[in-house]
């Protein structure tokens, strides 16, 4: 090609890509002395093209040498900001097209400018690197929006004129509203609806999507780029959700469930399948951990539900069965036959299920771990009226919170939060050791579970027989270990020593602190080994205990749950916060055993040594006619 022909070709390419001749005014960076430009746009409004062109202009002018590109996920960085139809690599002129190095998460231009790629899933990676140009795409879709902003703007400190661009469909999240409040200071804002870019969008988009949602609340946000406020009368309020939002869940959760609200059909116009993961903290609060809802065929939502179950170490999957009946469980078990499952049937109206859940939010007892945009949109627009839509994400959330915090457990299994007492801050919490008690005792069980035949467990209680407003029973301490020849010899002195320590902290009349042994499993062997050297007894020796030992262990746990769930048993702070490592797992094994009972949805299930000792201790105290409740 001759030099003249090459010049003509370059000129033709430049003319075809003359962005400032074809862009709408709102797609161009405003004039003035600003630090941050926010482009609020509806779906397909040309936000990505604006961002990519802005980056290319700053690179060409020399203003951008070190650039940070941030999107909700690593895939979004690559597929949208770089390689998408309006991405940097796609629209850059051939003479100034950068080189993308995926392994380094870096893009380098011929003039030496370079961009690093970051995902909002890992905001801490923004610590350290510096830039003079920043582009954050879809801030309002990021679960870690506040962390991303904090880390990103701390790194925007190079050059004489560092600037940032945020392209996003607006949502009324706190970090975004805080930025908008600075409009007219160091922030400038341009806005565009999807309609403004109609000539560049597929006709089907307007025929199927825009026509369907035009005039609706969702359409006002996603198409008109309107920043919405709460619906009058809505059961949830975004301001309250924001106040309670956290960036991380507690390290230890007592229970985790995956809740599914399955769609009846699958297709472009079908309802979504709600998929919500939530956990119960040791503080008695609920934590919304994930929202994977979407439109899926049955096999796919089942696979996703089970993936979530495994990823979060959940106790069970809960699913509404009103529409699919037994098919819901069969679909899940076709993927994993052993999955713990409980079907729930909606016998009452949606508003009746939703109101107590929204009340927990108002009480400050449910936290969102990050931002869940579509879910929060459903929550803050649902008022329970007949004209309200049937939001599947909201439904799944309600099933999850009911399962963790509100529902009566199937078969009467124990609610861990029932062990907590009302606290001064109107929440729930464990109790301190009592100053005095009618007595102390320890329950020991060993070799109960065939899957753990060498487990030995002890639970230590204090009890009060005389009413007067005191809790009849308090769990003071617990332990679980694997039996060895040394432990067979030393377990009884160890229990006696612990009882002696507790007697020095708690005023107890008399001197004896009995040790009772569950006779099943290795109980008789333990008793025979130590009965002559220590004060021990077998459960069932007293007449009041005969009914206890005649019950299968699983029925004993169910019987004990009635006393626990009625608030007659509390757990001490020491026992509640204690963790040990057993069989390679570090956690509060007592709470885990209590919370785990019943997750299979059947009463006939194996009871381990720790849960057996706990249930026996509860029943032994309340079998005593002197116990006042």
pLDDT digit string (tens) for 90-119? 999 988 999 999 999 999 999 999 999 999
Same domain, 287 and 193: no
Same domain, 450 and 397: no
Give residues with Cβ within 8 angstroms of 277, minimum separation 6.
Answer: 256, 257, 258, 259, 288, 289, 290, 291, 292, 308, 312, 314, 400
Report the alpha-carbon angle 605-396-375, nearest 5: 145
pLDDT at 44: 86
> At which of 377, 407, 437 does a domain end?
407
By C-alpha distance, which of 12, 362, 44, 298 is closest to 195?
Answer: 44
Same domain, 249 and 190: no
The H-or-E segment that residue 36 falls in is strand 36-41
Is 160 within a domain? yes
Q: Does residue 427 surpass a pLDDT of 70? A: no
Q: In this structure, are residues 420 and 584 in contact, taking their beta carbons and an 8 Å threshold?
A: no
By C-alpha distance, which of 599, 274, 614, 203 is closest to 409?
Answer: 599
Is 342 within a domain? yes
pTM to 2 decimal places: 0.51
Q: In this structure, are residues 617 and 556 in contact, taking their beta carbons and an 8 Å threshold?
A: no
Q: Rounded CA gap, 523 and 551, in Å?
A: 16
Same domain, 44 and 174: yes
pLDDT at 346: 63
Q: Rounded CA gap, 273 and 57, in Å?
A: 43
Is 282 within a domain? yes
Q: In this structure, are residues 110 and 63 in contact, taking their beta carbons and an 8 Å threshold?
A: no
Same domain, 392 and 423: no
What values do phi and psi take at 238, rounded to 5? -60, -35
pLDDT at 11: 45
Q: Rounded CA gap, 167 and 55, in Å?
A: 12
Q: Rounded CA gap, 276 and 397, in Å?
A: 6
Same domain, 491 and 550: yes
Question: What does the block give as tokens for 452?
Answer: 């753990």
> At which of 162, 193, 222 does a domain end?
222
Of 32-36, 335-339, 515-519, 604-608, where does mean pLDDT reach its minimum?
604-608
Scored b (16 or more CB within 10 A) or e, 364-395 reads ebbbbbbbbbbbbbbbbbbbeeeebeebbbbb
Q: Does residue 35 surpass a pLDDT of 90? A: yes
Same domain, 386 and 434: no
Q: What is the mean pLDDT of residues 482-491?
A: 85
pLDDT at 165: 97
pLDDT digit string (tens) for 370-413? 888 889 888 888 876 644 456 889 999 999 998 888 765 444 46
Question: What does the block give as tokens for 620?
Answer: 């032994």
pLDDT at 20: 86
Q: Are strands 455-463 and 439-446 parallel, antiparallel or unpaired?
A: antiparallel
Q: Does residue 249 surpass a pLDDT of 60? A: yes
> At which of 195, 222, 249 does a domain end?
222
What's the CATH code of the domain at 262?
Answer: 3.30.420.280
What's the CATH code of the domain at 566?
Answer: 3.30.420
* Helix, strand or coil, per DSSP, at residue 168: strand
Same domain, 191 and 283: no
DSSP string, 578-596: --EEETTEEE-HHHHHHHH
Same domain, 487 and 552: yes
pLDDT digit string (tens) for 178-196? 999 999 899 999 999 888 8
The H-or-E segment that residue 355 falls in is helix 350-362
- Top-confidence range, 485-494, 533-542, 573-582: 573-582
Is 196 within a domain? yes
Is 557 within a domain? yes
What's the CATH code of the domain at 32?
Answer: 3.40.50.300
Is 228 within a domain? no
User: How many folded domains does the chain comprise?
Assistant: 3
pLDDT at 31: 92
To the nearest whole percent, how much of the chain has pLDDT over 70?
A: 83
pLDDT at 279: 93
* Helix, strand or coil, per DSSP, at residue 444: strand
Q: Rounded CA gap, 414 and 498, in Å?
A: 27
CA 218 to chain centre: 24
Alpha helices in 111-200 (DSSP H): 145-155, 174-180
428 or 611, greater pLDDT: 611
Same domain, 296 and 442: no
pLDDT digit string (tens) for 542-588? 544 555 666 778 777 877 887 887 788 999 999 998 888 888 777 78
Domain hosting 210: range is 11-222
Question: What does the block give as tokens for 278?
Answer: 């939530």
Q: Does residue 326 surpass a pLDDT of 80? A: no
Q: Residue 615 class from Cβ within 10 Å (0-12 exposed, 13-18 middle, 19+ buried)? A: buried
Q: Rounded CA gap, 561 and 573, in Å?
A: 20
Q: Residue 166 class from Cβ within 10 Å (0-12 exposed, 13-18 middle, 19+ buried)? A: buried
Q: In this structure, are residues 192 and 39 in contact, taking their beta carbons and an 8 Å threshold?
A: yes
Give residues with Cβ within 8 angstroms of 609, minimum separation 6.
Answer: 445, 446, 447, 448, 449, 452, 455, 456, 457, 480, 518, 521
Across the chain, mean pLDDT equals 83
By C-alpha distance, which of 140, 112, 105 is closest to 126?
Answer: 105
What values do phi and psi take at 97, rounded to 5? -75, 130
Is 5 within a domain? no
Is 120 within a domain? yes
Same domain, 396 and 514: no
Same domain, 112 and 190: yes
């Amino acid at each position: 090609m001759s030099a003249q022909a090459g010049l003509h070709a370059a000129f033709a390419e430049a003319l075809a890509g003359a962005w400032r001749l074809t862009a709408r005014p709102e797609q161009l960076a405003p004039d003035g002395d600003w630090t941050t430009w926010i482009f609020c746009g509806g779906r397909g409004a040309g936000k990505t093209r604006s961002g990519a062109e802005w980056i290319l202009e700053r690179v060409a002018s020399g203003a951008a040498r070190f650039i940070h590109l941030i999107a909700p996920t690593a895939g979004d960085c690559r597929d949208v900001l770089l390689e998408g139809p309006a991405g940097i690599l796609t629209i850059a002129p051939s003479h100034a097209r950068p080189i993308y190095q995926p392994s380094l998460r870096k893009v380098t231009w011929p003039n030496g400018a370079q961009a690093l790629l970051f995902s909002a899933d890992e905001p801490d990676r923004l610590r350290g690197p510096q830039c003079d140009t920043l582009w954050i795409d879809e801030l309002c879709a990021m679960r870690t929006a506040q962390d991303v902003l904090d880390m990103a703007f701390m790194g925007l400190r190079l050059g004489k004129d560092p600037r940032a661009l945020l392209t996003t469909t607006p949502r009324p999240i706190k970090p975004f509203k805080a930025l908008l409040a600075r409009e007219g200071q160091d922030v400038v804002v341009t806005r565009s609806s999807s309609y403004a870019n109609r000539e560049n969008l597929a006709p089907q988009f307007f025929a199927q999507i825009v026509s369907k949602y035009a005039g609706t609340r969702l359409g006002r946000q996603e198409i008109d780029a309107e920043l919405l406020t709460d619906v009058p009368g809505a059961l949830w309020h975004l301001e309250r959700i924001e106040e309670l939002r956290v960036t991380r869940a507690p390290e230890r959760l007592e229970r985790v469930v995956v809740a599914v609200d399955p769609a009846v059909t699958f297709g472009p116009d079908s309802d979504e399948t709600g998929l919500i993961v939530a956990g119960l903290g040791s503080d008695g609060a609920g934590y919304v951990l994930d929202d994977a809802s979407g439109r899926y065929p049955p096999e796919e939502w089942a696979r996703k539900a089970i993936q979530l179950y495994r990823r979060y170490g959940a106790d069970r999957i809960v699913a509404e069965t009103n529409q699919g009946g037994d098919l819901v469980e069969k679909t899940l078990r076709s993927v994993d036959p052993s999955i713990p499952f409980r079907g729930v049937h909606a016998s009452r109206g949606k508003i009746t299920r939703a109101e107590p859940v929204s009340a927990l939010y108002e009480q400050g007892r449910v936290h969102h771990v990050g931002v869940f945009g579509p879910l929060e949109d459903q929550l803050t627009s649902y008022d329970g009226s007949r004209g309200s839509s049937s939001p599947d994400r909201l439904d799944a959330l309600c099933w999850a919170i009911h399962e963790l915090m509100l529902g009566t457990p199937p078969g009467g299994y124990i609610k861990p939060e029932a062990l907590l007492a009302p606290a001064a801050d109107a929440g729930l919490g464990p109790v301190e050791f009592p100053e005095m008690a009618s007595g102390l005792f320890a329950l020991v069980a060993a070799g109960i579970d065939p899957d753990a035949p060498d487990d030995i467990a002890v639970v230590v209680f204090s009890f009060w027989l005389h009413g007067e407003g005191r809790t009849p029973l308090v769990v003071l301490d617990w332990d679980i270990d694997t039996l060895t020849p040394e432990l067979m010899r030393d377990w009884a002195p160890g229990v006696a020593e612990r009882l002696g320590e507790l007697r020095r902290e708690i005023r107890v009349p008399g001197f004896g602190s009995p040790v009772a042994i569950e006779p099943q499993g290795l109980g008789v062997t333990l008793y025979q080994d130590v009965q002559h050297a220590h004060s021990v007894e077998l459960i069932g020796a007293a007449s009041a205990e005969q009914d206890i030992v005649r019950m299968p262990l699983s029925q004993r746990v169910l019987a004990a749950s009635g006393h626990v769930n009625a608030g007659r048993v509390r757990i001490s702070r020491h026992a509640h916060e204690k963790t040990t490592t057993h069989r390679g797992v570090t956690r509060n094994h007592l709470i885990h055993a209590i919370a785990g009972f019943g997750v299979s949805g059947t009463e006939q299930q194996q009871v381990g040594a720790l849960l057996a000792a706990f249930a026996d201790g509860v029943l032994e105290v309340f079998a005593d006619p002197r116990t006042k409740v």
